[in-house]
Amino acid sequence: MEKNGNDRGGMDRREFFQYAGIAGAALALGTIMPGRTQAAEAQRKEDFGKAHVIEFNKDTGTPGFWDNSRAPVLTIKSGEVVHIETGMHLLGKMKPGVTIEGWKEYYEQAIAKDPDVYTYPDEKTGAKKIQKGAGHHTLVGPINIEEAEPGDVLQVEILAIDPGDYGFN
């Protein structure tokens, strides 16, 4: 038998209510003292420095791959905030009502537009095959960080995620 009197493992009823009470108190304090929370958030925003916005468009988005020769769409200093607007698959062409045939047509157009990125010749047959990683998902960037060098570890903190009006899988 466990030290908490529960031979099934986990926590007993008393522990559960202790933790529930602590969680409830924390939630209550958050609603009772919103001024402190807002002040802390304001200080946090002030500490970050300059903020940037990258809008999603054909110049900032790339279809499913990173080309190392591509120039950065933005250069920032460490600690600056970047709001990145992302796009749907196929550089925003996937919208409610698009059929699978429409998706296929857009994807084939993307491959035809940049075949060296999307395809490679099969070693045995010479037939074109789709590159792993090249695809219909959309990436935004690249973003350059001043003074960062190859091999540096970068810390990225996601401050918020605002979902779009629709999605698909």
- pLDDT, one tens digit per residue, over 27-76 is 555 554 455 555 555 555 565 678 999 998 888 888 777 777 889 999 99
**Whose structure tokens read 């990436």?**
139
Q: Quick one: average pLDDT of 12-39?
A: 56
- Give residue-wise pLDDT tens across range 95-121: 788 888 888 888 777 777 776 666 677
> Which residues lie closer than 8 Å to 103 by C-beta, 6 or more apart?
89, 90, 94, 136
> Hey, which of 15-19, 106-110, 153-157 has the most confident mean pLDDT?
153-157
Q: Is the pLDDT of residue 166 over 70?
A: yes
The 10 Å CB-count burial string (b at 16+, else e) for 8-42 is: eeeeeeeeeeeeeeeeeeeeeeeeeeeeeeeeeee
Q: Quick one: average pLDDT of 141-160?
A: 92
Q: Quick one: average pLDDT of 1-30?
A: 55
51 within 8 A of 83, measured Cβ to Cβ: yes
168 class by beta-carbon count within 10 Å (0-12 exposed, 13-18 middle, 19+ buried): exposed
164 class by beta-carbon count within 10 Å (0-12 exposed, 13-18 middle, 19+ buried): exposed
d(CA 18, CA 55): 47
pLDDT over 90 percentage in the chain: 20
Q: Is the pLDDT of residue 126 over 80?
A: no
Mean residue pLDDT of the chain comes to: 74
Residue 2 pLDDT: 45
**Confidence tier at 82 by pLDDT (50, 70, 90):** very high
Residue 22 pLDDT: 62
Q: Where are the domains of the chain?
A: 49-145
pTM of the model: 0.56
